[in-house]
Each structure stands twice: as structure tokens, then as C-alpha cells.
Amino acid sequence: MADKTQARRTPLSRERVLHAAVALADGIGIESLSMRTLAQELGVVPMALYKHVSNKEELLGGMVDVIVGEIGSPEPGVDWKSAVRQRILAARRALLRHSWAGGGGGCF
């Protein structure tokens, strides 16, 4: 039986893996992100990640989905021009928070 004083490990989920990957890329840069470094950050062996993402390409795609999810919807009832402006500004803020996702063009 496990020692009750031992901290319970939060189980892995796809969402937890993707959010941790985004946070890690924010901290160390996308170039330094690997399945091994992500596994170390989460306190698991690298093979444990493959239950939630099949490879690094899928991981990167999921990370983009996380960032797009941060953009949100415009306020209800606004005219279409204001709605478009709100979405553009929200996307800009998301890309500024995650500079590695902006393509490195420096246009934001």
C-alpha cells in the first residue's frame, strides 16, 4: 500500500500534457522542447506521453489548438466589424503571450 504521506500524483491527460508543453515552450523555447524534457517537467517517463500524443508533430498541433482556444469569441451582440477587431486583437494577445508560436517574424 502506498505511503499516505506521499503526495498523490496528478494523472496525465491530453489536456495536461498540452498545457504543460505550451508552458514549457514559453519558458525554454520551442527549439528546446522535446518529449524527454516535457516528460521530466511532468515527472513521468517519456513513454507515458505517447498514450496522449502519438508523436511530436501531434504534440505541436495540440499546442496550437491550446493557443487558438485562448482567443475566445467576440462579445455577443456586437456588429461584425467590432467582432472581427476583437478576434484579431485577442489573437495578437495570444501570440504575444506565446512568442514561439508567432513564427518569429516580429510583426506582433
| Res 12 pLDDT > 50 | yes
Domain of 32, CATH number, reads: 1.10.10.60
Residue 27 within any structural domain of the chain:
yes
Is there a domain that residue 83 lies in? Answer: yes
Position 76 in a domain: yes
Sign for the CA dihedral angle at 80, 94, 21, 23 comes to negative
Of the two residues 4 and 79, the one the predictor is more confident about is: 79
pLDDT, average across residues 93-108: 76
d(CA 105, CA 94): 15
Residue 4 falls within a domain, yes or no? no
What is the per-residue pLDDT for 104? 54
When pLDDT is averaged across residues 44-48 and rounded to a whole number, the result is 96
The domain total for the chain is 1
Q: Is residue 3 part of a domain?
A: no
Cell numbers for 67, please give them: 493557443
Classify residue 8: in a domain, yes or no.
no
pLDDT at 73: 87
Judge whether residue 107 has pLDDT over 50. Answer: no
In a domain? residue 7: no
- Average confidence (pLDDT) over 36-51: 97
Residue 92 pLDDT exceeds 60: yes
- Quick: pLDDT tens for 73-90: 888 999 999 999 999 999
pLDDT of residue 40: 97
Helices (H), 1-108: 14-28, 35-42, 46-49, 56-71, 80-97
Three-state secondary structure along 81-92?
HHHHHHHHHHHH
Q: What is the domain range of residue 21?
A: 14-102
| Residue 1 resides in a domain | no
